[in-house]
Amino acid sequence: TYGGNPLGCAVAIAALEVIKEDCLVENAAALGEEFRAALRRIDSPLLQTVRGKGLLNAIVIDEKANKTAWQLCLLLKSRGLLAKSTHNNIIRFTPPLNITYEELMKGVRIIEQCLKDIVNMKDEDIPGYLEDSKLYFT
């Protein structure tokens, strides 16, 4: 293990200094509130719940919808936003702690547009979607 390793300790101390000096904890708390508020303003039949703390957030996709979290993640990826689906109906968003407000709102606009567009898309029109991907990634 790296426990007690001088180099590992030096790296950890340096990382903690950056977290403190750059106010990353406060940034995560403030921007997390903004992020969740912006997500809650999105009007989509797919969006059931928004939850999170700091910059660790998730949306819950209505399980009665004809689209899965995986399909939405594929569409998000095709438009430049990476997110992680869990289960069949949850998407986690974990932006970096040093993200700016402008970058975060750009992400919200991508999420909003994808939620709007995917409702009327055929499965085969979702970039990267394969019918059997449901078997491997849910």
Q: How many domains does the chain have?
A: 1
Q: How far apart are CA 92 and CA 3, in angstroms?
A: 30
4 in a domain, yes or no?
Answer: no
Burial of 100 (0-12, 13-18, 19+ CB in 10 A): exposed
50 in a domain, yes or no?
Answer: yes
93 in a domain, yes or no?
Answer: yes
131 in a domain, yes or no?
Answer: yes
10 in a domain, yes or no?
Answer: no
- CA angle in degrees (0–180, nearest 5) for 73-129-49: 30
Q: 40: domain range?
A: 23-137
pLDDT tens, the chain, 138 aa long: 667 889 989 999 999 999 999 999 999 999 999 999 999 999 999 999 999 999 999 999 999 999 999 999 999 999 999 999 999 899 999 999 999 999 999 999 999 999 999 999 999 999 988 765 555 555
3-state per-residue secondary structure call for 11-42: HHHHHHHHHHHCCHHHHHHHHHHHHHHHHHCC
Q: Dump the DSSP string for 38-76.
A: HHHT---SSEEEEEEETTEEEEEE-TTSS--HHHHHHHH
User: Angle formed by the axes of helices 6-21 and 24-40, to 10°?
Assistant: 60
32 in a domain, yes or no?
Answer: yes
43 in a domain, yes or no?
Answer: yes
> Any idea what the CATH number is for the domain that residue 81 is in?
3.90.1150.10
| Amino acid 4: pLDDT | 80
18 in a domain, yes or no?
Answer: no
- Give pTM, 2 decimals: 0.87
| Amino acid 134: pLDDT | 57
